[in-house]
Structure formats: structure tokens, C-alpha cells
A = this chain, B = another copy of it.
């Protein structure tokens, strides 16, 4: 049986995340339906991660097994014929038998956008978190350094998760300002449930003076969710790259 790897892009605004759910439209369900149209059978579709409602992906990887004979280079255009315009298949290839979009992932990169302006923006409403209090970027950059490396991030996870370990390694955490958009880019070996959004919310609290950058290392070490900042809104989050 062939093992097809797909790279998708999706605007998550209209979906209740990736993962199949009863009574709510999800990206997984929509993509499965399009795959069924081109292969003739319902796929077992494995995604790199669950995503929350409203979260976006510039590059989301998934895989499925099939006996269909369609050449992989023709799959993107074929799928895009059946996909709604807010989900696009960018790339497809025949992967090795052992490839699993979720378990083979070595590294992921997420980007979080904060709109730091007094008034909201009609075009960014679904793609950023509107934060009206002035953010001090240099303080945020200082605090960001404390996240680098291997830490137990249990204080930066929403409850309700089931994972073997809450230790994760963060390779980079960069903050840039472009106009009134603050762009937070984070790369790591994996992320706990809501972890990137809690990091973004905590960095916003640092930027507006509610948390001192010097106390960041201690807050991480405390493993206490209450000491971190708020969970930033979902629509500012983009999965931007997955490394295998």
C-alpha cells in the first residue's frame, strides 16, 4: 500500500480545529472527504497535531495509506478541486512505509501575531490577537531567553492533556515588530496543549509590565500555571513549519 504525505495550508477561522469531532466542522473531516473523492475510499488520516478552533496552518503535514494509482504530483490539484477555498493542498509525495505525520515529526515552528494598536484592524481580526496596551519589545526579547533549552513546561500547559512527559526543548524564540504587528516565532521539539498560546500571553504580560523579564526563569521553574500569563487568543496562532 502507498503511504501519501500531504502538505496543507488552512485558514482555521471556520473550523473547530484539525481533529474529527461530532457535530462540528473540522479540517480533518473536510480533507478526508476530498481524499475519498479522488481515491474512492475513506482514508485513515494522521495529522501532525491537533489544532484548536480558529488556529491556522501555513504548512500542516498529514499522511494516509491508499491503493489508488493517481500520481502524487497530480494529487494537489485534484484535491484542491474538491476542497473549500480555505483549505489548500500545497504538496504531495509518496513517503516511506514507516512515515507517520505525527510521530515522525522532529521539530515544529509556530508563529503568533499580536496586533498592538489602539483600534482593531478589519483585515487582521481573524489572524491576530488585538492587544491595545503598549508592548515593550525589548522586555519581551529579554524574557524570551528564559524559554530556550530543555524545561518542564507543565506550568505552560492547559489542563486536560495526557502526555508521558511535560519536558520540551525550545530551540529558538524570536520576537520582531513590523509596523504594529508583533510577531513571535518559536521552534521546538514539541509543544504541550496550548503551550504556544500561553507563551504568547505571558510575553504580552511582560511587554505591558505585568511580569518582569527577570522573573521569567523562576516562573518557568515554578511549574505553576497561575504564575504565567493568559492564554492568548487562538486566531493569532499559525503552524508555520514541520521538520522531519
Q: Please report A residues at the B interface, Cβ cutoff 8 Å.
A: 9-11, 56, 76-77, 80, 85-90, 118-123, 125, 127
A77 nearest CB across to chain B (Å): 7
Minimum CB–CB distance from A56 to chain B (whole Å) comes to: 8
Question: In whole angstroms, what is the CA distance A122 to B125 when docked?
Answer: 16
Measured between beta carbons, the chain B residues less than 8 angstroms from A9 are: 121-123
Other-chain contact of A122, B11, B118, B120, B122 (Cβ < 8 Å): B11
Contacts of A56 in B (CB 8 A): 123
Bound together, the chains give a CA A118 to CA B73 distance in angstroms of 13
Q: B10–A88 contact, CB under 8 A?
A: no
Query: Chain B residues with Cβ under 8 A from A127's Cβ?
Result: 123
Q: Is the CB of B77 within 8 A of A123?
A: no
A88 to B56, CA, bound (A): 23
Q: Are A88 and B11 in contact (CB under 8 A)?
A: no
**A-B complex: 9 closest residue pairs judged by Cβ atoms:** A85-B125, A11-B122, A88-B122, A9-B122, A86-B122, A10-B122, A88-B120, A11-B123, A88-B119
Q: Which one of B76, B88, B125 lies within 8 Å of A121 (CB-CB)? A: B88
Pair B85/A119 contact, Cβ less than 8 Å: no
- A80 and B120 form a contact (CB under 8 A): yes
Q: How far is the CB of A55 from chain B (nearest CB, A)?
A: 13
Chain B residue numbers with a CB within 8 Å of A11 are 122-123, 125
| Extra 11 A-B pairs, beta carbons < 8 Å, given A88-B119, A88-B120 | A11-B123, A11-B125, A77-B118, A80-B119, A80-B120, A85-B122, A85-B125, A86-B125, A87-B122, A88-B122, A90-B119
Contact (Cβ within 8 A) A120 B85? yes
- On chain B, the residues within 8 Å of A89 by CB distance are 119
A208 CB to nearest B CB, Å: 19
> Which residue of chain B has the shortest Cβ distance to A10 in the bound complex?
B122
Judging by beta carbons under 8 Å apart, are A76 and B125 in contact?
no
Chain B residues near A118 (CB, 8 Å)? 77
13 A–B contacts from the bound complex (CB under 8 Å): A9-B121, A9-B122, A10-B122, A11-B123, A11-B125, A76-B119, A77-B118, A85-B120, A85-B125, A87-B122, A88-B119, A88-B122, A123-B127
B residues within 8 A CB of A88? Answer: 119-122
